[in-house]
Amino acid sequence: MGREIISIQAGQAGNQIGAQFWQKLCAEHGISPNGDLEDWAAEGGQGDRKDVFFYQADDEHFIPRAILVDLEPRVINNILSSPFKGLYNPENIYVSKTGGGAGNNWAQGYSAGEKVYDDLMEMIDREADGSDSLEGFNLIHSIAGGTGSGLGSFLLERLNDRFPKKLIQTYSVFPGGADVVVQPYNSLLAMKRLVNNADSVVVLENAALARIAADRLHIQDPSFVQTNQLVSTVMAASTQTLRYPSYMNNDLVGIIASLIPTPRCHFLMTSYTPFTGEEIDKAKSIRKTTTLDVMRRLLQPKNRMVSTTSTKSSCYISCLNIISGDVDPTDVHKSLLRIRERQLATFIPWGPASIQVALTKRRTAGNRVSGVMLANHTSMASLFKRMLDQYDRLRKRNAFLEGYKKEDMFANGLEEFDDARRVVAELADEYLACESADYVDYGT
Amino acid sequence: MVHPDLLQQASLLVQQIGPDLDVESFSQHVVREIADPSRGASRKEWSDIEGPLRGIINTLRIKVQDDVADALEKALSTLQSRRLTDSSAWEGEMAIKMGNLPDHIHFLLSLAQPPTSKTTRIARSYLDKASPSGPTADEVLYQVIMSGPFTGAHWGRGYEQEATHGWTDSESSSSESDADLVTPSTDRISRTADLETLLRGRLIQDQEDRLREAQRSLASFKEKYYWINMGQSFEPLSAHTHGWRSLATRSTTAQLEAAISKSSRIPRKVISSLALQRELLFALDGRPGILFFFDEDGACQILSGHPLVAHMSSAALSSIVDHFANQATIGSRIRRFVAGTASSSAFSSRKASQTSKTHQAFADALQEILTSYAEWIGGNEIGLLRGVKVDEDRSTPAASPMSLKLDLDRHFGTLLSRLDSLLPKPGDPPTDLLNDIYTTILSLPASAAELSEALTRVFIMSAEPMWSMLCSWLSEGMPIPSGLRYHDDTRVSLTDEKPLDKEFCIERDRDISWTDEDFWANGYVTGSGGWPLFLGERTEEMILEAGKARGLLQSFDNAPLKEDWQTLFQVLNTSGDRLLASTVPDLIFDHLSPTCRLTMFQLRRALEEDCGLDAHLDAIESLCFMQNHQVMSEWMSELFQRIGSKRQWTDFQTLSSSIREIIDQHGGTLMNPSALRIQAKKARNTTEKVFDTMRHVRAIYDVPFPLSQVLTPTSMELRSETFSVLLQLHYASHVLAESRKQDAVFISHARTTIDIRSIWQLRQQLNWVIGIFLSWLSRDVIESRTEQYRREITAITSIKGMIDLELRFARLVHRLSLLHPDVEALRAQLSSILELTTTLGKVYSQYMNDTSVASTFQPERQPFAPSKKASNTRRERHFEGDPLSDDEESDQEAELIEGDSSFLLAEDFGARLKFMKNQLGTTIAGMIDTVRSLAEGPDRAPQSAEDDAREQWAMLSMYLDEWHRFQSEPTPRVQAL
């Protein structure tokens, strides 16, 4: 009984983050870069479930349930020349034969997906068939560029059609600056698929990641590697209850059920503390931690990996803290009591909600206690509003649309943009509506 | 040491290589190089071998594996002795004695593995192996030679040495038949024999003459014996006796009294004071005389008409005689008790088996005092006759009856009176006797030091049998039946344990069998006579525990405690100072507590190392409290899918075999799969409500003996009921999570967004409250309390303490799992909420069924379209291995509708939802009130499980309070971040 999760990493960011994620998982489970189990891990008794993210080949090597997809070969070639080159199943790596990439164009990526559909589905089907009881998919991608955004969107739609009963969770990197001028278009179009086709979206915003690197880790100019390490750390931490089962939240559906009461509002923000030098290269932040310290810091906006603007009425729809390490259960209760006394977290008015805490016994490196927060917060609406604002600014001037019009989807009109805008606007409105006690009556 | 051949070979080699070289120095260099251990030579010095072996022996001793340590020491000493026999022969040139070689090898081979109970057995047999006995070959040959019949010529008739006069003074040797004896030397001695016969004849004649004279003298003495004539007759007072002078010098008190009273009943015979004194001593010694006799009961009676004492009035005489008669009675009673009880008496072997050992020991102690008493009487008697002091230790013999009385009172009177009052009846419990003696000693005033000392000695001697039994109890432990001692033998029994001594203060309750869970507490208990006072109250539990622990250790092939047990006398006289009776319990406690603690530590270690206490606890917690999240989550996932697909799930295969298979996949021995099973207590059919059935599901773990004494069936039952609650909560959580899979279909069927959000709101509320209960029970109750329990049980060495802790813990968790009758209301409220989760699923299905049949209403606005789940392609395929296929799900939905409750059929969707929300709200509000009252509880320090649970109830109360915030604050609150 596996409840396996297949990870699909698409595009440059997706593959770079994915590579870091697998490195971290290998380190935690004691799997060497070539898939062998380390001696200390082979002794057993870890209480981990490697089979959620790995499977064992005939020669007992552990292989990630990962599919690496990119339309240009550079990042995947880097992975294949790294020490972890032997980790992945070569049959699960797809690099476009033309190698031109998607040119930071969502439409190119999406249309490329249609062309490579059979190849990709063959990989996905094979992995799915190799699972005892597939629980769902993880899509790791960025929504600003071409491949992760466009091809990722295509995959979301197709996965949904092909595996309607399986959960789809994404780790989506949202743009933070203006690296790509068409990122408002790409983001909006990808957002429509994230809203309609994903069950849960973990939002990771580049600007917030850079802020955390600068403020919390004192790295003024973080490299991609360092940023990706931040993301992979959060990914690893947020999947800990799946890999190291606890008394609750041992499966994806359980986590989603507790975090996402209304299916549409499924965009989750994350916080992680404390980051250490072992997790992030050259980071200088090691401090004494207690359960209360960790839980308090997780609620601080400056630790969130997405930059949202809270209003007076912003509130949590749900909040799950996954605490790892040497935690006394009574400390959790005391911390929750303190947080409640100081009103550090406000919840929706239309239902009872509170901070849920899951404990995992796995000790994290360096610190006694570490934690990750997965939260559903109404301030996420501000992110969508900002996205719409950026889109509207470009769209008013019909700027940079040439690249899209070349593709079949937009050849006959730009209705798809309008539809995507409507979906995102409705989502933002629904998030705002969640702040009201009359949410049940919203939309009538 | 270098082998001489090696040096020789090296010299030859050097000569061959270079004849011009310095042969001697080069040869030695070669030998040094060869022997150098750094170049791979295998040679080792004896100290290099002996050191590690000694270290192993020390380690074994620390681990109390004395048998193995002794055996290894024996092997080492054997090796050492062979080495020391002839150092030059160390290289194996000595002849090997083959007799014991297999034993050496067998033992040494057994040491190749880590020591087990088998190693201990081998070591023990190796230690006990006696050297070959029986006659040597020469002796056998001698016996063969000598066993043949005598065939040689006889040298004639033999003679007795005693036949030669003067060799012995034995009178019997001078029989007439001796003269007929013919010996080789008869001729040589015949002449001297004749002379001696003549001389001896004269000697005998002289002796006979002297004897006749003596007999004549004795006969004349006897005529004057007062005891023959019952005293001496005295004449009445002469009529011419006048004046005080005549009265004082010419009359006796008896004469005066006879003259005054004129009574004819006054005896007319008198004895002297000396005779009286002698009679008194006789009486004290238990012999009748002319004043006293002893009746059948041993009571000393005064003979009527006994003579007077010449210079003593009859009143004075009566007083003295009465006093001594009383003392003589006491002495007689004590003597009779001793004679009837003492183990040392000649014909007491049969009686000894019937008489209590403690009584016998008491009698022996009394005998010692009686001996001393008799010596004192004898001393006085001799002193009386001779008028001299015979014993250096004693004072001058009593000169008069009064001084004799004073002397008696001072030395033995009080002691004998006390002892007389302590004499037990034959059936009296030995503990009573010991308690009586001990309390008598305690009640003595501080001034009675001598008496206290004597009684203490009696007490110690009397308590020695009980002490011996106690030592035996502590060294051998409670007797265990063969069924526990010989695990492999099928003929063994659980009822054939050796009985304890009947008079021991601990006894076996035969109503309790070894398989009973209260065996540890009630199998062996303090006897009906109670706990001996001298052992002290605080030793009772300790000694009971230690003996039980030692007995249990025997079932692990653990040898009896080898200890040089001291006698009670040695224990109580360690300091050499005078012993205070009040300090006896403390001295005994101080003496026994290290031994008892050691035994309990050994058992604790045996429970951990041999019985795997921690491993079993891990397995039990993994199962009953679902602490092995990995296995249990997989098992539940399979189970819930089976329930969801309406398949049979209460059978053994689904419940037990499946979990064993999962454990096998995760490493086999993880949770001791062979010992666990999950079963529904009552066979249920699938049409019944799932939660009703789950209430009867139990996780059962077969705890092996002797751990079953700690982890009793009661505590295991309590734990297994908690399993049922956890299972229900997880199932409810699963049902709510799985309902999300119907969301897309639901959206596509929804008539209004209000319908959609209302049902999501209800689901969110259910999710919240079930999540609260699940996390509270799992984290704040089970995880938190289990950690505390494991810490505490690690620190406890007493099995009784462990049993108490285990039961307290199991009851606490049971109570907090809402299973105690006191919290039945809360349990009913939770059950109601759990049922709502399934009702919610039915409402979903019913709603979709209604809308799909009607299909008349299209929502004006469909913010949720297009639905990913509504796509036709969703049914194109499903995976192999996905147990819940779409078809099954449809069947499930259909069946849910069929099984709808009446209110679902009767009401419309909105009304149903409103009803459910109201029900949920009312239930949660009621729960909050109940939990709050439990958290507040009685205002006192925690004394029971009920009080102990208050902290956890307070936590739950805090978590549930969130409901009030939601209920009381409909408007958005200010973000505090």
DSSP string for residues in B691-740: HHHHTTEEEEE-PPTTGGGTS-HHHHHHHHHHHHHHHHHHHHHHHHHHHG
For residues B642 and B562, membership in a common domain is answered with no
Per-state percent for chain A, helix, strand, coil, to nearest 5: 45, 20, 35
Assess whether the previous peptide bond of B132 is cis (omega < 30° from 0): no
- Asked if B379 contacts B390 with a C-beta cutoff of 8 angstroms, the reply is yes
Contact: A161, B774; criterion CB under 8 Å: no
Q: Which residue of A has its CA nearest to B777?
A: A247
Q: Which residues of B699-714 are buried (b: 16+ CB within 10 A; e: fewer)?
A: bbbebeebbbbbbbee
Query: Is residue B724 located within the same domain as residue B809?
Result: yes
| B112 and B57 fall within a common domain | yes
Record: contact B966-A351, CB cut-off 8 A: yes
Instruction: Tell me the helix, strand and coil percentages in chain B, rounded to 5.
Output: 65, 5, 30
For chain B, say whether A133 makes contact (Cβ under 8 Å): yes
Q: What is the dihedral of CA B81, B83, B88, B91, to 10 degrees?
A: 140
C-beta atoms of B975 and A258 within 8 A:
no
Q: Which of residues 303-362 of A touch B (CB under 8 A)?
A: 310-315, 328-330, 332-333, 336-337, 340, 342-347, 349-354, 356-359
Q: Place A89 in a pLDDT band, splitting at 50, 70 and 90.
A: very high
Query: What's the mean pLDDT when you consider all of chain B?
Result: 76
**Helices B713-739, B799-816: crossing angle, 10 deg rounding:** 30
Whether chain B has a CB inside 8 Å of the CB on A197: the answer is yes
Q: What percent of chain B has pLDDT over 90?
A: 6
Q: Say how far apart CA B872 and CA A162 lie, in whole Å.
A: 10
Query: Do the domain assignments include residue B23?
Result: no
Partnered with residue B473 across adjacent β-strands are none
Q: Rounded to whole angstroms, how far apart are CA atoms B710 and B613?
A: 10
Min distance A225 CA to chain B CA atoms (Å): 31
What is the arithmetic mean of pLDDT over A322-332?
A: 87
Residues B799 and B930 in one domain: yes
Residue-level pLDDT at A171: 95
How close, in Å, is residue A82 to chain B by CA atoms? 32
> CB of B572 within 8 A of CB of B587?
yes
- Chain A contact for B347 (CB, 8 A cutoff): no
Residue B863 has pLDDT above 50, yes or no: no
The beta-carbon neighbor of A349 closest among B634, B863, B970 is B970
Q: Which 8-state DSSP code applies to residue A347?
A: B
pLDDT at B839: 83
Note whether B801 and B946 are same-domain residues.
yes
pLDDT bin (cut points 50, 70, 90) of residue A194 is very high
Distance from CA of B861 to the nearest CA of A (A): 8
With CA atoms as reference, the chain A residue closest to B885 would be A165
User: How high is the pLDDT of residue B731?
Assistant: 92
Is-contact A252 A5, C-beta < 8 A?
yes
Q: Are residues B651 and B525 in the same domain?
A: no
**Bridge partners, A377 (sequence order):** A316
Minimum distance, in Å, between the CA of residue A431 and any CA atom of chain B: 13
Residue B7 in contact with partner chain A when CB distance is under 8 A: no
Residues of B in contact with A443 (CB under 8 A): 753, 757, 861, 863
Q: Tell whether the model's pLDDT for residue B570 goes beyond 90.
A: no
pLDDT surpassing 90 at residue B553: no
Write b or e for each residue in B829-865: b if 16 or more Cβ atoms lie within 10 A of its Cβ, otherwise e.
bbbbbbbbbbbbbbbbbbbbbebeeeeeeebeeebbe
Q: Is A220 on the interface with B (CB under 8 A)?
A: no
In a domain, B428, yes or no: no
Give the range of the structural domain holding residue B335, as residue numbers without chain letter.
271-343+355-385+399-423
Domains of chain B: total: 5
State pLDDT tens for residues A233-287: 999 999 998 888 888 888 899 899 989 998 889 999 999 988 776 666 666 555 6
Which range is least confidently modeled, A314-318, B159-163, B562-566, B664-668? B159-163
Phi-psi category of B460—alpha, beta or left, where left has phi over 0 and alpha has psi -120 to 50?
alpha
- Nearest residue on chain A to B878, alpha-carbon basis: A163
User: What is the mean pLDDT of the segment spanning B101-115?
Assistant: 74
The pLDDT score that the predictor gives to residue B181 is 47
Q: What value does the mean pLDDT of chain A take?
A: 88
CA distance B540 to B505: 10
State the nearest Cα–Cα gap between A271 and chain B, in angstroms: 14
Helix-helix angle B950-960:B753-775, to 10 degrees: 160
Determine the 3-state secondary structure of A305 from DSSP: coil
pLDDT digits (tens, 9 = 90+) for B475-525: 888 888 877 665 555 555 666 677 888 888 888 887 888 778 788 888 888
Question: Among B118-132, B559-573, B710-724, B737-751, which is the least confidently predicted range?
Answer: B118-132
Tell me how far apart the alpha carbons of residues A364 and A371 are, in angstroms, rounded to a whole number.
9
- pLDDT greater than 60 at residue B6: yes
CA distance linking residue A395 with residue A186, whole number of Å:
12
Q: Give the Cβ contact number of residue A410 at 10 Å.
A: 21
Side-chain half-sphere of B23: how many Cα atoms within 13 Å?
A: 13
Write down the domain spans for chain A. 4-268, 271-378, 381-439
Closest to B65 (Cα-Cα) out of B472, B605, B704, B486 = B605
* Alpha-carbon distance B951 to nearest alpha carbon in chain A (angstroms): 10
Q: Decide: A158 and A117 in contact? Cβ < 8 Å.
A: yes
- My answer on whether B676 and B788 are in the same domain is no
The answer to whether B763 contacts chain A (CB < 8 Å) is yes
How many A×B Cβ pairs under 8 Å?
Answer: 215
Residues in chain A within 8 Å Cβ distance of B871 = 160-161, 164
CA atoms in the 13 A half-sphere facing the CB of B913 = 18
- Domain assignment present for residue B893? The answer is no
Residues of A in contact with B882 (CB under 8 A): 133-134, 165
A90–chain B Cβ distance below 8 A for any pair: no
Give the model's confidence band at B882: pLDDT under 50 very low, under 70 low, under 90 confident, else very high.
very low
Alpha carbon of B890: minimum distance to chain A alpha carbons (Å): 13
Considering the domain A4-268 in this protein, what is its CATH number?
A: 3.40.50.1440
Judge if B596 and B515 occupy the same domain.
yes
Residue to substitute from A131, A170, A248, A256, interface B, most B β-carbons within 10 A: A248
Higher pLDDT residue, B497 or B914? B914
pLDDT, residue A170, reads 96
Residue B391 belongs to some domain of the structure: no
- Mutation target to probe the B interface, by most B beta carbons within 10 A, among A333, A361, A419 is A333
* E strand intervals along A17-108: 54-56, 62-64, 66-70, 93-95
pTM above 0.95, yes or no: no
Query: Is 60 exceeded by the pLDDT of residue B767?
Result: yes
Higher pLDDT, B117 or B906: B117
> CB–CB of B963 and A352 under 8 A?
yes
Does residue B742 have a pLDDT over 80? no
B524, B507 contact by CB (below 8 A): yes
pLDDT of residue B387: 63
Look at residue B176 and tell me if it is in a domain.
no
Query: How near does any CA of chain B get to the CA of A179, in Å?
Result: 31
Residue B560 has pLDDT above 80, yes or no: no
- The per-residue pLDDT for A366 is 60
Which tokens is A28 given?
Answer: 């935690």
Enumerate residues 783 to 822 of chain B having a beta carbon within 8 A of any beta carbon in chain A: 783-784, 787
The pair of structure tokens assigned to B670 is: 């993880």
Touching check for B743 and chain A: CB below 8 Å?
yes
End-to-end CA distance of chain B: 85
Q: Average pLDDT, stretch A41-61? A: 81
The whole-number pLDDT of residue B314 equals 78
One-letter identity of residue B949 = A
Give domain A381-439's CATH number out of 1.10.287.600, 3.20.20.10, 1.10.3720.10, 3.40.1160.10. 1.10.287.600
Let me know if residue B687 belongs to a domain.
Answer: yes
Single-letter amino acid, residue B20: D
Looking at residue B84, its pLDDT comes to 65
Residues B668 and B725 in one domain: no
B244 domain-assigned: no
Say what percent of chain A tops pLDDT 90: 50
CA–CA distance, B185 with B191 (Å, rounded to integer): 12
Q: How far apart (Å, rounded) are the C-alpha atoms in residues B587 and A113?
A: 91
Residues B280, B368: one domain? yes
Query: B302 pairs with which residues across the strands?
Result: B292
C-alpha A307/C-alpha A309 separation (Å) is 7
B862 touches chain A (CB under 8 A): no
| A200-205 and A267-273 beta bridge pairing | parallel
**In this structure, how many other beta carbons lie within 10 angstroms of the beta carbon of residue B591?**
16
pLDDT digits (tens, 9 = 90+) for A387-407: 999 999 888 888 888 888 888
Pick B881's closest partner by Cβ from A133, A312, A336. A133
Same domain (yes/no): B723, B705: no
Distance, CA of A120 to CA of A127 (rounded, Å): 11
What is the structure's pLDDT at B907? 54
> Measured between CB atoms, does B741 come within 8 Å of chain A?
yes
B874: pLDDT strictly greater than 60: no
Residues 254-273 of A with CB under 8 A from B: 254, 256-258, 261-264
Q: Which residues of B touch A357 (CB under 8 A)?
A: 775, 779
Q: Could you tell me if residue B594 is inside a domain?
A: yes
CATH number for the segment(s) A271-378: 3.30.1330.20
Share of chain A above pLDDT 70, in %: 94
Rounded-to-integer distance, Cα B920 and Cα B485, Å: 59
Residue of B634, B882, B876 whose CA lies nearest to A129:
B882
Cα–Cα distance measured from residue A273 to residue A233, given in angstroms and rounded to the nearest whole number: 10
Q: What pLDDT does B644 receive?
A: 83
Q: Are B867 and B748 in contact (CB under 8 A)?
A: yes
DSSP A116: S
| Chain B (552-581) residues lying within 8 Å, Cβ to Cβ, of chain A | none
Average pLDDT in the B728-750 region?
Answer: 82
Whether B692 and B759 share a structural domain: no
CATH number at residue B836: 1.20.1410
